Homo-oligomer: A and B are copies of this chain.
Amino acid sequence: MISPFDDTYFMKKALEEAEVAYDKGEIPVGVVVVINDRIIARGHNLTETLNDVTAHAEMQAITAAASFLGGKYLQNCTMYITLEPCQMCAGALYWSQISKIVFGASDPQRGYRKNGVQLHPKTKVVSGIMEEDCGDLLKRFFIEKRNLN
């Protein structure tokens, strides 16, 4: 039997979260955290709603996943993220010792890879899953913002 649970399946779920952010007028970034093919945490960017620069999707999902697991380390977890994490979120992922991250669109300006931020040595990285869909939602958001101003 072919499992329906692959990286694309879970990235679609992260993209659904990004769409929730979009509908709230937030920069549309979404996240899910998965363990054994089960989603244990979701998150979407809430920096405007909460008036808080730390309220990125990843930060909320790290806290939620740790709460679900009852421990602060995200061993055997994979985080699916629609956009390459920034240096803050990559720093948080470092501390979480998460096993794997998968992201969609790259962020050459604000992404963690630009400045050499370190992830944990235990963390595997996959990039470019549904890159176009994840990037298109962001582009749509910024075009709309520009036209409103």
Contact = CB atoms under 8 A, between A and B. Distances in A.
13 contacts: A51-B70, A52-B62, A52-B67, A54-B63, A54-B92, A54-B95, A87-B90, A87-B94, A87-B118, A88-B90, A90-B91, A91-B91, A115-B118
Interface string A82-122: 00001111111011100000000000000000011110000
Nearest to A85: B91
A59 interface: yes
Interface string A33-54: 0000000000000010001111
Nearest to A47: B72
A119 to B, nearest CB: 10
Contact of A87 (B51, B53, B70, B87): B87
